[in-house]
Amino acid sequence: RVLKYGVLGSTILGSGYSLHANDYNVNSVALVRLAHAGLAISDIVLIYKKQLYYKEWDKATPEYAEQKSVCHKIAADRLLKLICINRGVYIKVGQHLGALEYLLPSEFVQTMKVLHSHAPQNSVEDLFKVIRQDLKKDANEVFDDFETEPLGTASLAQVHRAKLKDGSVVAVKVQHPYVRGNSKVDMKTMEICCRLMTWIFPDFNMQWLVEESKKNLPIELDFLSEGRNAEKLARMCKDYKWLKIPKIYWEHSTDRVLVMEYVEGGQVDDLKYMKRHKIDPNTVSNYLGILYSNMIFVNGYVHSDPHPGNILVAKTPRGDTQVTLLDHGLYCTLTDQFRYDYSQLWLSILKADRVAMRQHSEKLGIRGNLYAVFACMVTGRPWDAVMKGVNRTKHMESEKKTIQGETSMMLPQIADVLEHVDRQMLLILKTNDLIRSIEMTLGTQNRQTAFSMMSRCCIQTVFQQQIHQTKSEWAKLSLRL
């Protein structure tokens, strides 16, 4: 009895302390957040048990497929409700799920996609508390004006337009309160949730997603690191006069508050804006192709979150097209060996050389016949198009249904690829998917210039690596010749 009351008392005291530490925000208390997650997990398990697993189904019938789709949608809606209640890390993982079109049922993917543009937001008062805590000043001591309506809201922060005391117009990125404090508990809970997903969908294992999130989240929560990333890319791409990286105002920035230059422009997927301002989609796609081919294959330093909200397009006063890259929180740094192997893989894909594809896929962790699945994931094209030559066949609208059909039958193989592929590849796959999605929206997915640029970058990387690995001066000379 003493032990029972002791545990109860400790729980109450711990919850009380947690409540006080979180400014009496009940939803930020670890116990409450765990309870929300536990209830959601129970609800999702019951959905599948009652409506699918407790009944005798012929899995080959349309009725079973229809009922499974209904269960997926109800479960996805329940998961979305949990994400919107707990926010923070949950939204970040939900956004990642919304990008896994090649892995998750479409009901989950489509439901989670809403999080890319409609993440829940905090009040300005909550953000002012963060500014006061970090800058040791009230917001009105730093800013002459601070717009209450956010320019954008993401999983970890939201951005507002403001004006500094010296008149500079800036974008202020403020981390959501309590996100950092809740992150460890949330990641542990998300691990449990992912195990549940694996139980529901036994064809794949989502543990790689948890491990990647654990590794990347602390980096994304450090806005000073984001500022350094932005400046590093600006130095790296200084010759690209069409690329704009907003200036960082370091004197007003902390690890939870990032003040940067405000840049006008429309989202890269806003075709009406581009038409109104006479911006050529092909020019934009060419610029993105140049930027990402060089980042991935040549420099090995890659902005890994190029969703449309992070890429702005505009016309300069001189009438030139300008591309602005925002949100530099997540980068992947690639080793020289990875760049070499990945370049060789792409060159083999462009030549439709299946023997070389298999050889270079193995260097990236893919064994056996899974190289074909891997090639499809890398290119976003069905195997038939890969073997005909992705640079020689047009990307048809009908391919989307083909890919979806192949994906549903290949889930175990896709999961196997994600489980064993070189970890550096995971963010590259995500980046490839986001860039391809932008090209599809702009209608520029069949540009031959994209393959030409990629080929040049791949050849440059292969050549440089071969020179580096060659010890003989005569051999180096012959390679250069």
Distance CA 206, CA 211 (A): 9
Half-sphere exposure of 455 (CA within 13 A, CB side): 11
Identify the helix (H) or strand (E) that includes residue 171.
strand 169-175
Distance CA 90, CA 103 (A): 19
Q: Confirm if 113 and 98 have CB atoms less than 8 A apart.
A: yes
Task: Answer left, alpha or beta for residue 23, where phi above 0 means left and psi between -120 and 50 means alpha.
Answer: left
Distance CA 329, CA 310 (A): 11
Strand partners, 267: 312
Annotated catalytic residue within 43, 58, 126, 305: 305
Q: Confirm if 95 and 155 have CB atoms less than 8 A apart.
A: yes
> Which residue type does 340 have?
Y
**What percentage of the chain's residues is helix, strand, coil (to nearest 5)?**
60, 10, 30
Strand partners, 259: 172
- Sign of the torsion angle spanned by Cα atoms 377, 383, 387, 391: negative
Phi first, then psi: what are they for 123, rounded to 5°?
-70, 155
Q: Confirm if 322 and 265 have CB atoms less than 8 A apart.
A: yes
- Burial-class residue 239 by CB neighbours within 10 Å (0-12, 13-18, 19+): exposed
305 catalytic? Reply is yes
What's 450's DSSP letter?
A: H
- Cα 391 to the chain's mean position, in Å? 26
Q: Which residues are designated catalytic?
A: 305
